[in-house]
Amino acid sequence: MKVLYNLLKAKSPFAIIGLVFTCIAIFVLLPFLSLFAIVFSGENDSYNFKAIRKNGVEKNATITYIKTIENLTINDEHPIVISYEYDVDGKKVKDKFETLDLEQTANFAVGTNIKILTYKNQAIIKDVEPYSFPDYLFLLLPGLFFLIGIVLLSIGLIPALKIFKLYKTGIIKDATIISIESEFDFNSLKPNKGGIKVNYSFLDNQQNKIFGAYPASDFLFLFGKKEGDTIKIFVSEDDETKSCLVPIYEAAKYNWSI
């Protein structure tokens, strides 16, 4: 995996940025904002309000308790939770309803008879708007970070995986250097753009000449190689037009049998 990570850094710094964005989305923003979602969630967030209003059966209910949510303020108002009970086949059923509709509930008190709508074991107070916080809002920011991260990660990861596959399964062949294009700034002693681009040719299994080009960050090619020299390359077993240079540094560091 170290080799793959080095490929990501060398071939596309965007992939590392993408990995950071993805990790922030999954391990920082999502857990943090999920806690906020729990704090702001309403008593009836799991209820299907649309289905209850459309298909609900009207029943009478009696308020048993009213509680103000003091630690939550929406537009300078505190939601209230109304507990009530009603009969279903002779049995008392208890439920709760959270709302910010303080105008419609101004005359509510313990013992007040109200109209409710029930559907599939869920009930709401008729003609009173429920308080329900749209949890999806908390997913927008981590979702945006995750999307940007995946896009940037894919830009670097897909090419890096192709090269990594060549490292693992490619056939080692000799190639002849046609030219070495250096993008090295000798004034600042820093590489510009891709560093070095090595153009080379080799023979496929039918002895046809195949041309390839590969950007290299290994400056041994700049100082130690020249046109006409023989170098080692990896060639795909499935498609001989796909090839890459054998990385001298990695091959030596990880004792590749080359």
Predicted local confidence at residue 40, as pLDDT: 67
Average pLDDT over residues 129-139: 76
Contact 196, 209 (CB under 8 A): no
> Residue 191: its pLDDT value, please?
40
Say what the pLDDT of residue 172 is: 94
Report how far residue 18's alpha carbon sits from residue 156's, in angstroms, rounded to the nearest whole number. Answer: 9
Question: What is d(CA 175, CA 214) in angstroms, rounded to the nearest whole number?
Answer: 12
Averaged over 179-204, what is the pLDDT?
68
- Residue 188: the pLDDT is 41
Q: What is the per-residue pLDDT for 192?
A: 44
* 78 in Cβ contact with 70 (< 8 Å): yes
**pTM (2 d.p.):** 0.56
Taken in order of first residue, the domains within the chain and their CATH numbers are 2-40+137-152 (no CATH), 56-124 (2.40.50), 170-253 (2.40.50)
Nearest Cα to Cα of residue 174 among 224, 243, 117: 243
Half-sphere exposure of 207 (CA within 13 A, CB side): 0
Confidence class for position 123, pLDDT limits 50, 70, 90: very high
Q: Are 138 and 34 in contact (CB under 8 A)?
A: yes
Residue 47: CB atoms within 10 A of its CB come to 19
d(CA 3, CA 61) in angstroms, rounded, equals 68
Residue count of the chain, please give it: 258
For residue 235, the model assigns a pLDDT of: 96
CA distances from 144 to 41, 133, 149, 254 (A): 22, 20, 8, 38
- Asked if pLDDT for residue 139 goes beyond 90, the answer is no
Does 111 or 15 have the greater pLDDT score? 111
138 phi-psi bin (left φ>0, alpha ψ -120 to 50, beta other): alpha
The chain-wide mean pLDDT, for the chain, equals 85
Q: Give me the sign of the Cα torsion angle 130, 136, 141, 142.
A: positive
Distance CA 188, CA 172 (A): 36
Look at residue 132 and tell me whether its pLDDT is greater than 90.
Answer: no
More confident site: 10 or 94? 94
